[in-house]
Amino acid sequence: MAGLVAAAVSWRLGKLDQDLIKITVIALIVTRLIPFPWPKRVPDRHIARRADYPDLHAMVDEIADALGARRPSQVCFAPVADSGTTRLGPRRSELWIGLPYAMGFERAELRAVIAFELAFLEAHRSWLLSALLEVWTSEMRKKPAVRAELGAVAKALLTQADKVGCRVADPRTMANALLRGGLMSDSFTWFGGRYAIDLPSYGLFPVDLYQGWRWKVNEDDLLGRIMPRYLELHTTQTLRGGFTIDRLAELGATLEHPPQPAENPILSALDPTVEARFARWLGNLLSNPSSVYWFVTFGEMPDAVWDELIGHLHDRVLQATAELVGRPNPTLTDLVEIVADGRGTEIKWEHRDSLCTHSSAGVCALFPVLHRNLRLKGYRYTHALRQRQLVGPGGDRIDVVRLAQGIEHGDQLPEILAPTASS
């Protein structure tokens, strides 16, 4: 494996500028002379004991042996949507697999992920590469040239680790694993932001967080709905450590369709008590632990909480609309006119700056305002985790996202909201 990392960076090392060489030398001196504290394990985890998860351990052993890499001393599941390795000592290491990954990857894709992580672990055994990566991921201020050179080294390591993954899975499977991993990580982040992160302020947190996220992925096409924005962000922004689109291109991936829900994951679910513990850990991470005093299921969450959260979005959109039109108290009709004119991107509010399941900035802005007005007209939720669908007093159903998409393309407001609806 040492030859792998040498191939990844030897070309780059001959072209590093003097600033980068100085920084790397300093990092090497620091890590060599100062007693090195081995990296801490991932916060909270569930050890995957060999007796309990024989298929997973057999997979890890087979891949490590095929690559000529050391077998991890320990394998565990973690509460985050990611995977990685941690050195526990000179000859001890831990492979951790985020619970969403373990439950969401096809087995062939998980093989590729494990091979990637073991290759990256081998790279970390080099003091030079560890120093480079430490500088790359640190908050240290860097000159643009230094940042570019460090990025080139990091990308080379990632690309080489991708190639290692292709040794145990074909390039298409490796590409699917990379795309699925990115979408799952971002979808879990989005899900937490949309359905969990604000709840501690009400003293609440969903104990079935992971079950809820799985439902959105498997039953509500979450990966497919988030994929357009995911590709847009990764194409137009330099995301540190990612290089996802370039890596997918090098693997020959096509980005027309999102991966379908895994049919044969190595893990369907952890014990509910473990998943609940992970959810509590995340809840406490997001807030002062004493502020969460009710751990409830999504089904038990009061509708008034969701209304208030969407109401905050409603108010921010209308405030941004007021700034755009230059007068206070704009109406839903004002917003509709802006979006229908193709000016949705001119509505400046922070929600569109990050992950989003909506097809455009205009739809994103319309959603909370339409939703709020329909709720005031007596429309009810049909599912705690599918809040875009509302049912009216007469039994009619409205998909608020589709309604917003139609309005963006020139459709009229439904009669119940016409001719104007005040804020």
Supply φ then ψ for residue 221, to 5 degrees.
55, 45
Task: Note whether 390 and 303 are within 8 A (CB).
Answer: no
Q: pLDDT (tens digit, 0 to 9) for every residue of the chain, 423 residues total?
A: 434 344 344 434 444 444 544 444 444 444 444 343 334 455 578 999 999 999 999 999 999 999 998 899 999 999 888 898 887 777 788 999 998 899 899 999 999 999 999 988 876 655 556 666 666 666 566 667 766 777 777 777 788 888 888 899 899 999 999 999 999 999 999 999 999 988 888 888 899 999 999 999 999 999 999 998 888 888 765 544 457 888 888 888 878 888 888 888 998 888 888 888 888 888 777 766 556 678 889 999 999 999 999 999 999 999 999 999 999 999 999 999 999 999 999 999 877 677 889 989 999 999 999 999 999 999 999 999 999 999 999 999 999 999 999 999 999 999 888 764 444
pLDDT the model gives residue 136: 60
Dihedral sign (CA 229, 232, 238, 240): positive
CA 321 to chain centre: 29
Location of structure tokens 């087995």: 107
Residues 79, 276: contact at Cβ < 8 Å? no
In this prediction, residue 42 carries a pLDDT of 54
In this prediction the pTM is 0.82
Which tokens hold the place of 69? Answer: 């890499």
pLDDT for 294 equals 81
Distance, in Å, from the CA atom of 3 to the CA atom of 291, rounded to the nearest integer, reads 51
Instruction: Please calculate the CA angle 174-177-179 and round it to the nearest 5 degrees.
Output: 110
**Which pLDDT score is estimated for 140?**
61
Q: Are 368 and 349 in contact (CB under 8 A)?
A: no
Phi, psi of 264 (to 5 degrees): -140, 60
198: Cβ–Cβ under 8 A, 6 or more apart, which residues?
A: 309
- Strand ranges inside 4-60, DSSP E: 46-47
Q: Which pLDDT does position 156 carry in this prediction?
A: 77
Tell me the three state secondary structure of residue 85: strand
| Residue 73 · residue 88 · CB < 8 Å | yes
pLDDT of residue 2: 37
By the 10 Å C-beta count (0-12 exposed, 13-18 middle, 19+ buried), 397 is classed as exposed
* pLDDT the model gives residue 56: 96
Short-list 134, 117, 362, 150, CA closest to 238: 150
Q: Specify the residue for token string 């509708």.
A: 303
Q: Please state, in angstroms and rounded to a whole number, the distance separating the CA atoms of residues 187 and 48.
A: 25
Residues 94, 121: contact at Cβ < 8 Å?
no
